[in-house]
Structure 1
Amino acid sequence: MEKKLIIIGIETSCDDTAVSLIRNRKVLSNVIIHQNIHKKYGGVVPELASRLHEKHLILAVNKAISNAKINKEEIDAVSFTLGPGLIGPLLVGSSFSKSFSMGLNIPLLTVNHIQGHILSHFIQNSNMNNYFPKFPFLSLIISGGHTLIVKISDFFKMKILGSTLDDSVGETIDKVARVLGLSYPGGPLLEYFSINGSSEKFQFSKPTVKGLSFSFSGLKSQIIYFIEEKMKKDPLFIKKNLSDLCASIQKIIAEILIDKIKKAAIQTGIFRITLAGGVSANNEIRKSFLLFAKKNKEWEIFIPNKEYTTDNGAMIAITGLLKYKKNIFDSIHVTPYSKFSKF
């Protein structure tokens, strides 16, 4: 009988201190400590994030072990994010994970953060479908740092088909939200104010970008220029139209994402799509993809449950588990990296 592996996953790539324990593919605990202090700075301050990870990480680990109702000696391996991300926070997670591995004399498993988002669909009951996607499939990664279309042929056979030429979709949302007077992070507030708005009120044009690449800087500039011009004529324009603006902005972004993934699917002949990353928590984007799948029966769309969209330890743990089963272990001498180039 195959041993039921217990893996701890540690994620510190940005401003969330996240720790999870899984037994095989079932989540035993999933702890996330948010650093809300960054709101007043309008974005994540790396040095501050590092200090707070140092403060929060041991608390998160202890809570995760307690919630899982296991002893730390039962853990078979420690899995952690090696990159990409903010180098200071990554070093905190790396140093702790190496010490944890050495202290318990258990293997060390490093995880590419983006790969973790993609493979979160292999956690038990992690998506709205309640089953795992079959290979091959396309993954659309939409987050604050990345916008990618990736072809997934196997757990660790991934090829980038398209990426953003400039801003990520999450970065664009945050910048536009700031112009609307909304605090950081802008995504949840943009969604909140869109609820009672009309997505047909304001029309924005889609950027023309060749191939499977994305570009959001032009859209961002178009929206900001439009708002600034309207504000010159009526200083209360945003206040009067906030809900409609938020709804209209979300609509154009959802349309851009669907158009691009349609193009990728037609080019590859793969009509099985997974969403991943923090922006996939946006209800308008989720509804748009579900509606598209309903209208196009040959398509299979996998949307993650919201707790697995933003950064979390479970996605790091599942990726570590899959590496463990393939005997892909790492040295204590690995070094975190901030930039993403390839898998």
Structure 2
Amino acid sequence: MAKENIYILGIESSCDDTSAAILKNNSILSNVVANQKIHAEYGGVVPELASRAHQSNIVPVVHQAIEKAGIDKNDLDAIAFTRGPGLMGSLLVGTSFAKSLAYGLDIPLIDVNHMQGHILAHFIDEKDYKKPPFPFLAMTISGGHTQIVQVNDYFDMQVIGETIDDAVGEAYDKSGKVLGLGYPAGPEIDKRAQLGNPKAFKFTKPKVKGLDFSFSGLKTAILYFVQNETKNNPNFVKENIDDICASIQYTIIGILMDKLKLAVKQTGITHIAIGGGVSANSGIRKALKDAEQKFGWTTYIPKFEYTTDNAAMIAIVGYLKYLEKDFSEIDVMATARLKF
């Protein structure tokens, strides 16, 4: 007889956030995230510092997730963890902990692709949230990734477009650094963009064939633009910061939407879901909502807590794999450049 309730512990440690979540079937009981503030001082994630912080955080984070869920560790049916992609040192901490705990509790271990987690987060049960039907297009946009994925089923996914160099989140952060903004710069650029004129300054969109993206040229163009303008006026950035941010955001969103429109045209799929840290951006969310009205798309935008790296998205993949009895061997290894 099938068990009525399945409890999954999800563990996420791919970059600089240590997270643990408990799922009861496909409903979240807890989702705990420990952020690492130290990287802000360096303007980006320092891998060695990240892995050390994970070592300090993982036990209390997992303990807190179990406690908040109101269950005992012996109630767990399986442990799902991020195998990759991500920073190797960070992944090793989560992988080692998950393997040890699964072995100690004598329960299945389930490895999860971080990018699949961002996509399948849409299948966490949430009140008033409509899940996307298959097939749908998923655009995953974050600090390390920019992809368009055709999702035919839970584990039938095909990457149909991706960045050939920098990810969109990196373009935001590097542009923010040029402007003297803190790290991560994406939320600050988004906030200031809402106060500025998006057409004040024009940045050329890179010409990339098909559904692939490129952001390195835009990043360089912004750097040269700021350098040239500040030669003539040392206070240029300070005096025009909102307009600059609005113009950068307008260009980035234009690049993303152009590729999405092309993907819809090529596939005929009009159900569009977004995921990843940059999907928290208000400009991107608005552009998608506008596209619903203009093009007749149906868009799926996750709750903010499921956009950045979190263990709830790992746990939902774990639950779906558990139903398929798709378990991992205890000798499974973390893989920094794990593909779909």
TM-score range, shorter chain: over 0.9
Identity %: 52
Equivalence for 2:307: 309
Provide the C-alpha distance between the structure 2 equivalents of 1:38 and 1:218, rounded to a whole number of angstroms.
Answer: 25
Equivalence for 2:159: 160
Equivalence for 1:328: 326
Equivalence for 2:208: 209
Find out whether 1:219 has 2:207 as its counterpart: no
Provide the C-alpha distance between the structure 2 equivalents of 1:110 and 1:253, rounded to a whole number of angstroms.
Answer: 33
Provide the C-alpha distance between the structure 2 equivalents of 1:62 and 1:83, rounded to a whole number of angstroms.
Answer: 23
CA deviation profile, 1:21-63 (whole Å, cap 9, x unmatched): 0111110001000000010011111111111101011110111
Task: Tell me the secondary structure at the aligned position of residue 211 of structure 1.
Answer: coil
CA deviation profile, 1:72-119 (whole Å, cap 9, x unmatched): 111110000000000001000011001110111110000000011010
Paired residues, number: 339
Find out whether 1:338 has 2:339 as its counterpart: no
Superposed, 1:185-264 pairs within 5 Å as: 185-264=184-263
Task: Tell me the secondary structure at the aligned position of residue 254 of structure 2.
Answer: helix
CA deviation profile, 1:248-285 (whole Å, cap 9, x unmatched): 11111111111101101110111111101000001111
Find out whether 1:107 has 2:105 as its counterpart: no
Q: Report the TM-score when normalising by structure 1.
A: 0.97
Deviation at 1:296, TM superposition (A): 2.1
Superposed, 1:11-160 pairs within 5 Å as: 11-125=12-126, 130-160=129-159
Flag structure 2 segments of 5+ consecutive residues without an equivalent: none
Deviation at 1:314, TM superposition (A): 0.2
Provide the C-alpha distance between the structure 2 equivalents of 1:150 and 1:2, rounded to a whole number of angstroms.
Answer: 33
Deviation at 1:193, TM superposition (A): 2.1
Task: Give the stretch that moved more between structures: 223-232 or 190-199.
Answer: 190-199
Provide the C-alpha distance between the structure 2 equivalents of 1:46 and 1:221, rounded to a whole number of angstroms.
Answer: 25
User: Which amino acid in structure 2 is aligned with residue 56 of structure 1?
Assistant: N
Task: Tell me the secondary structure at the aligned position of residue 181 of structure 1.
Answer: coil
User: Which amino acid in structure 2 is aligned with residue 304 of structure 1?
Assistant: P
RMSD of aligned Cα (Å): 1.1
User: Which amino acid in structure 1 is aligned with residue 38 of structure 2?
Assistant: I
Flag structure 1 segments of 5+ consecutive residues without an equivalent: none
Task: Tell me the secondary structure at the aligned position of residue 52 of structure 1.
Answer: helix
Task: Tell me the secondary structure at the aligned position of residue 242 of structure 1.
Answer: helix
Q: Report the TM-score when normalising by structure 2.
A: 0.98
Task: Give the stretch that moved more between structures: 196-205 or 248-257.
Answer: 196-205
Provide the C-alpha distance between the structure 2 equivalents of 1:239 and 1:271, rounded to a whole number of angstroms.
Answer: 41
Deviation at 1:2, TM superposition (A): 5.2
